[in-house]
Structure 1
């Protein structure tokens, strides 16, 4: 990254359409790309392969943010409160390892911050947090039709039933952080 204030964060909190829609609303987030990470097969995975649950990949977003506007820690707190980090390999009706809660850290500093946030957030949940914390390997951007999915498909059933309520919660909890 040419600008010293620009950094990246890669997280998965279930369906990437949801997390992408959330982080596109946050001040300081410059770019959000839906994709796949954490898998163990060669080549570039496809959505169909990811959905099989056999590749080991998770649906994730990789965002570029300006740390002079919002910190990695603040973004992680938003992430942890925008999905259920206590359900293993599941978010709502979406089930499988591709929907796991995961933070892929880019460097040791991100790992340290993530460990602190995970520990601090534990007291806010009745059940144990199962969010995976792993080093980022390869990130593969998802197919073009997944990018900006909510913005392009707001009236689609999944968007109105699942994503719109998450955005309403975001507006209620983090109005001062919104663009």
Structure 2
């Protein structure tokens, strides 16, 4: 067996050394040319220099900055409603109870809503209080509610989640 392996190896090596075996080697190269675009500089305020009688003093004038003003009443009416956060004070089973809780909530300009829904065949009215930009603002407002409402364990609720619920029926009460 060793002899066959030695003979086979020598035949294989002799085949590799023969001069009749040729290969073609080719290569390709690719060149990309990049063009540089002219970059425009940002627009800045122009500065004009004015000299005063004393040659050592130079006054610099700048153009006035843009003034930001709040939106007009017409613009405010055209703006879409902002969906923030509110406080769900209580959920009750009758319209009379909704009216009772809505009357007793602090009247400091915060909106009060009722939301009617049916859950598992039961009618529920929720009383919602306030409109806050963030959850943190709404949580702070809960701490400022009277003790009778804190005892009801109010919680923060997203107005967007209410509006996207299957049957939103938000009615503003004040």
In the superposition, the TM-score normalised over structure 2's length comes to 0.32
Answer 1 or 2: higher relative contact order, Cα 8 Å, separation at least 6.
1
Q: Which has the larger radius of gyration?
A: 2
Structure with more helix by fraction = 1
